[in-house]
Amino acid sequence: MKKISILALHLNYGGIERAIVSLANLACDKYKVEIVCTYKMKDEPAFKLNSKVNVKYLNSFIPNKEEFKKAIREKNIFDILKEGIKSIKILYLRKKTMVDYIKNIDSDIIISSRFLFNKILSKYAKSYVTTIGWEHNHFHGNYKIAKKTAKSVKKLDYFVLVSQELKKYYSHLLINTNCKCIYIPNIIDEIPKNSSNLKEKRFISVGRLSKEKGYMDLLKIAKKLFDKYNDWHLDIIGDGEEKEKLINFVKNNNLTKNITFHGFQNRDYINNILSKSSIYLMTSYTESFGIVLLEAGSFGLPLVAYSSAEGAKEIITNGINGYLIDDRNEIKYIEVVEKLMNDYDLRKKLGNCSLESVKKYLGSNIINEWENIFK
C-alpha cells in the first residue's frame, strides 16, 4: 500500500484545512495517509477525520503573532523583545522540523498544501518520491506573488490548481519545466438528504471575518434591504479580526434584531442553518474557489456573489444557479437579491439548478482525478 503524506500548517478551521481533511478521508481506503502539521492549534482537528488517517504534529508551540502585535501596541519594550525572540525561534523551528521530517520520510507521495513548504519539498524530498504542490489561493492580480509561487513548484512533479483559470495561468509560467499543472477542484463531502424549502425569510453567509471577505459591504447591503424588508434575517457564521468592527456596525445601526453572528461552528451546526435559509450571500473581494458556495448549493440555495471573487465564477452561472455581480455594483447586488426575495418560484428554479451543479464536485468523482496522479 502506497503511503501519502500531506504537509499542513495546522488542522484548525480554514478552507485549506477543510480540503486537506476531505482528501485524506477519501484516500485512506486505498492508501496509507498521514497529515503532517507544523502547529497543533487544538486538541482535535476542526473537521471530522477518518480514524485511518494518522496525524503527526512537528512542534508543541503555536504562532505568537497576536502576542507580538499586542506588545507593540502597548509599547512594552520587555514584551516586544520577549515575543520578538520567541517569534524568530518559532519561524526557525517551523522550517527545521519540516526539513528534518521530509529528509527522513518513508512516503511514496508527498503533497505540499502551502507555498512555504514547496521549496523545502523540492530541495529535500528523496528522488523516488512523487512530489505535488497544491495551490488553494488566487494571486488576485499580484503577478509578483504568482511568479514566486511558480518558482517554488518548478522542481516538483505536479502542481494541482483548484480552478481552470489558475491552471491555464500557471501552465504558461511553468511551460519550460518538468512540473505538470493539473486542475482538480475542491471537494464537497456529501449532498444532504433534505434540501431547504426556501420559504424561510433568511439569508446566510459563511466565512472568515477578514477584510478580503467583504463583510462590511454585506452589512451595508443588509441595512438597505432591512430598511425595506424588516421581516428578513441574516445569519453570519465565522470569526476573525473584523468581528468587533462588524458587531459595532450592527449595534450602531439598530440591526441586532435582523443580523446574528454565530462565530465559528461545526459542520452540523452550519448545515442546520443552511437547511433553514433561502438565499446565500457572498461579498468577498477575492475567493480562490468558494467551497462555501458548493455547500450552500448542496442545500438547493440560489447563490449571489460579486464577480471579483474569482472562485465564484467557477461555480455560479449567471441567471442559472444564482447571480454574479460585476464591478462590485452594490445597487445591482441589492436589485437581484430583492428579485429573489420577492419571487419564490425564481428561488426554487435557481436553487434546483444550484443543487444539480454541485454534484460533479462530490468526493467520489474528484478522487479519481487525484488517483490518476497517485498511480
At residue 94, the pLDDT reads 94
Q: Using the predicted structure, report yes or no on whether residue 289 has a pLDDT greater than 80.
A: no
How far apart CA 168 and CA 155 sit, in angstroms, is: 19
Structural domains counted in the chain:
2
**243 and 278 inside one domain:** yes
Is 207 inside any structural domain? yes
**166 and 294 inside one domain:** no
Q: Of 35-39, 73-77, 158-162, 276-280, where does mean pLDDT reach its minimum?
A: 73-77
**116 and 17 inside one domain:** yes
Is 303 inside any structural domain? yes
Q: Using the predicted structure, report yes or no on whether residue 99 has a pLDDT greater than 90.
A: yes
Q: Using the predicted structure, report yes or no on whether residue 232 has a pLDDT greater than 90.
A: yes
Q: What is the mean pLDDT of residues 92-102?
A: 95
pTM recorded for the entire structure: 0.86
Answer with the one of 135, 151, 184 that is the final residue of a domain: 184
Q: Give 152-198 pLDDT, tens digit per residue.
A: 999 999 999 998 889 999 999 999 999 999 999 998 888 998 899 99
pLDDT band, residue 291 (cuts 50/70/90): confident
Is 194 inside any structural domain? no
At residue 114, the pLDDT reads 94
Q: Using the predicted structure, report yes or no on whether residue 14 has a pLDDT greater than 90.
A: no
Q: Of 60-64, 85-89, 210-214, where does mean pLDDT reach its minimum?
A: 60-64
- How distant, in Å, are the alpha carbons of 214, 281, 285, 286, 346 from that of 210? 7, 16, 11, 11, 32
CATH number at residue 132: 3.40.50.2000
Is 252 inside any structural domain? yes
How far apart CA 198 and CA 141 sit, in angstroms, is: 37
| Mean pLDDT, all residues of the chain | 94
**101 and 175 inside one domain:** yes
**148 and 210 inside one domain:** no
Is 190 inside any structural domain? no
How far apart CA 279 and CA 207 sit, in angstroms, is: 15
**99 and 248 inside one domain:** no
**30 and 179 inside one domain:** yes
Is 371 inside any structural domain? no
**273 and 169 inside one domain:** no
Q: Using the predicted structure, report yes or no on whether residue 55 has a pLDDT greater than 90.
A: yes
**302 and 356 inside one domain:** yes
At residue 350, the pLDDT reads 98
**79 and 222 inside one domain:** no
Q: What is the mean pLDDT of residues 250-255?
A: 96
Is 370 inside any structural domain? no
**157 and 259 inside one domain:** no
Q: Using the predicted structure, report yes or no on whether residue 46 has a pLDDT greater than 90.
A: no
Residues 6+ apart with CB under 8 A from 189: 22, 25, 363
Instruction: Find the domain containing 31 and state its range.
Output: 3-184
Asked if 273 and 262 count as a contact pair (C-beta separation under 8 A), the reply is: yes
Q: Using the predicted structure, report yes or no on whether residue 346 has a pLDDT greater than 80.
A: yes
Q: Using the predicted structure, report yes or no on whether residue 288 has a pLDDT greater than 80.
A: no
Is 178 inside any structural domain? yes
**174 and 221 inside one domain:** no
How far apart CA 94 and CA 235 sit, in angstroms, is: 37
